[in-house]
Chain A
């Protein structure tokens, strides 16, 4: 029998909660893990949430210890601002090329004091906060981001646009700002790959009748998450665009379901969570939930639903929803179960967007030599077997990059991919 030397190191793509969990588990069995993350921070989408359903645990409290463990773990090589460029080889012996963009901040020297932000003269919208607050051209996306080191947005930094600004460099006492840093092209030899690139929310502009982007106070789910977040742009105050506190709110379920052709499995639950958010901050607020079918599977979720229902939320099964501006308020027209036209007015509308694949999923699939399904998620080899196995041996897909799912299911998949790797490789 021929035995080929196989490389035990693992590449994990995506440092969201699923990628972090995969990496930590692998590191415990003394595997060397290269964890690469496209953004400058870890924690992915879960770090944007203030609380998670159904136990309403604080998300940061849940994720931060994992992030900390990750940063201190000697078996894990975290590469931020990094993307996979090329993959060659086969299970046990992949050669991977990574493009690591320059941060222009030396992470060895930076202590995360943030002194560089203030003097930066460039004011920009903060994408992490769904553009509800500002950032500078040198920034960390939010207080508490890990690793706690800023990056320079070269698209907007004056210095990278022909001006001789060195405000941040002058402010830094640790010589951490390095304008001469160069992008790196790193080549790694690894044995297996776990893809944990996550999802993106459905673009609510695709449904013009919901008025998102045109009507003030129509928010997406993520905008609302950040409004409620205690480390968010309003320090957790739920405010209308005019700074007033809403007296009524409507939550629209299934936004994008018809366009996408699947149920995203988490929206009903997180809508119920939003109910909790609203009533805990604004006692007495009137909430209406517009839904089609309530999808709250699992042993713990209905209990949460019943608790929310008791708080007096109006649950309206509706179709043909249309949202228009009516003075300061927002009118919602809909057809009820009896086929009758109906309408209500509210101060605030929250659209619970579907989970959709990342824009670059197809590109990454090509690089990895795996396929995507009709919805654009990574495709499992065979639905009859494990959903983390792809058509390419040694490449595993976990979390929402494989399909919409909740955190628990994502974490289970992370464990499954690790199990697959450790038992066969």
Chain B
């Protein structure tokens, strides 16, 4: 089953840095696993824990949140808030008996097309090893 397993990863990307970095990966014709479906938001701080949990409950095998590097936020400090919320959420997810390793927070700048590709590939490999989100089976 694992060989056939094609993960579904939701990628919340901030408009200014990470979405631009993902675009650059495209312009540079780098390879990115098709498991990732990007969702553009203005700032990583918009992504509230509920959205991340919803993604897991909807059956996402992995959720990636990518924003500007610390200090680079287009809105001054949104990414710091995102980081703090993410840290708390990971604990909550663990305590609920869910797998917090299915969540990934990363910083990707507008010039880091290469890095974006690496981050997604790495995360994709990790999720592949973890297998399907058990929530998905339950829902089915």
A interface residue numbers (CB < 8 A to B): 50, 55-62, 64-65, 112, 114, 143-144, 148, 229-231, 235-236
Q: Are B24 and A58 in contact (CB under 8 A)?
A: no
Q: Are B72 and A112 in contact (CB under 8 A)?
A: no
Of all chain A residues, which has the CB nearest B15?
A65
Report if B16 contacts A (CB, 8 A).
yes
Q: Are A50 and B16 in contact (CB under 8 A)?
A: no
Q: Are A236 and B68 in contact (CB under 8 A)?
A: no
Could you list 29 examples of A-B contacts with CB < 8 Å? A57-B71, A58-B17, A58-B72, A58-B110, A60-B20, A60-B109, A60-B110, A60-B111, A61-B16, A61-B17, A61-B20, A61-B74, A61-B109, A61-B110, A62-B72, A64-B20, A65-B16, A112-B27, A114-B27, A114-B29, A143-B28, A144-B111, A229-B111, A230-B111, A230-B115, A231-B28, A231-B113, A235-B114, A236-B115
Of all chain A residues, which has the CB nearest B20?
A64
Closest-CB distance, B84 to chain A (whole angstroms): 20
Instruction: Report A-chain residues with C-beta under 8 Å of the C-beta of B27.
Output: 112, 114, 143-144, 148
Which chain B residues in 87-120 approach chain A with CB under 8 Å?
109-115
Closest-CB distance, B112 to chain A (whole angstroms): 5
Q: Give the complex CA separation of A231 and B116 in angstroms.
A: 12
Report if B83 contacts A (CB, 8 A).
no
Instruction: Report A-chain residues with C-beta under 8 Å of the C-beta of B115.
Output: 230, 236
Report if B69 contacts A (CB, 8 A).
yes
B109 is contacted by which of A58, A143, A235 (Cβ under 8 Å)? A58
B72 is contacted by which of A61, A144, A236 (Cβ under 8 Å)? A61
Instruction: Report A-chain residues with C-beta under 8 Å of the C-beta of B71.
Output: 55-57
Instruction: Report A-chain residues with C-beta under 8 Å of the C-beta of B16.
Output: 61, 65
Q: Are A236 and B114 in contact (CB under 8 A)?
A: yes
Closest-CB distance, B139 to chain A (whole angstroms): 38
Instruction: Report B-chain residues with C-beta under 8 Å of the C-beta of A57.
Output: 69, 71-72
Q: Give the complex CA separation of A198 and B115 in angstroms.
A: 31
Q: Give the complex CA separation of A285 and B115 in angstroms.
A: 22
Q: Are B69 and A144 in contact (CB under 8 A)?
A: no
Closest-CB distance, A183 to chain B (whole angstroms): 29
Of all chain B residues, which has the CB nearest A56?
B71
Instruction: Report B-chain residues with C-beta under 8 Å of the C-beta of A114.
Output: 27, 29
Of all chain B residues, which has the CB nearest A55?
B71
Instruction: Report A-chain residues with C-beta under 8 Å of the C-beta of B69.
Output: 57-58
Q: Are A143 and B24 in contact (CB under 8 A)?
A: yes
Q: Give the complex CA separation of A209 and B68 in angstroms.
A: 42
Instruction: Report A-chain residues with C-beta under 8 Å of the C-beta of B28.
Output: 143-144, 231
Q: Give the complex CA separation of A114 and B26 in angstroms.
A: 11
Instruction: Report A-chain residues with C-beta under 8 Å of the C-beta of B24.
Output: 143-144, 231
- In this complex, which of A56, A57, A58, A112 has the most chain B Cβ atoms within 10 angstroms of its Cβ? A58
Q: Which 5 A-B pairs have the closest CB atoms?
A: A58-B109, A60-B111, A61-B110, A60-B110, A143-B28
Additional A-B contacts beyond A60-B110, A60-B111, A230-B113 (15; CB < 8 A): A58-B68, A58-B69, A58-B110, A61-B16, A61-B20, A61-B72, A61-B74, A61-B110, A62-B72, A64-B20, A64-B110, A65-B74, A143-B28, A230-B111, A230-B112
Of all chain A residues, which has the CB nearest B25?
A143
Q: Give the complex CA separation of A231 and B110 in angstroms.
A: 10
Instruction: Report A-chain residues with C-beta under 8 Å of the C-beta of B74.
Output: 61, 65
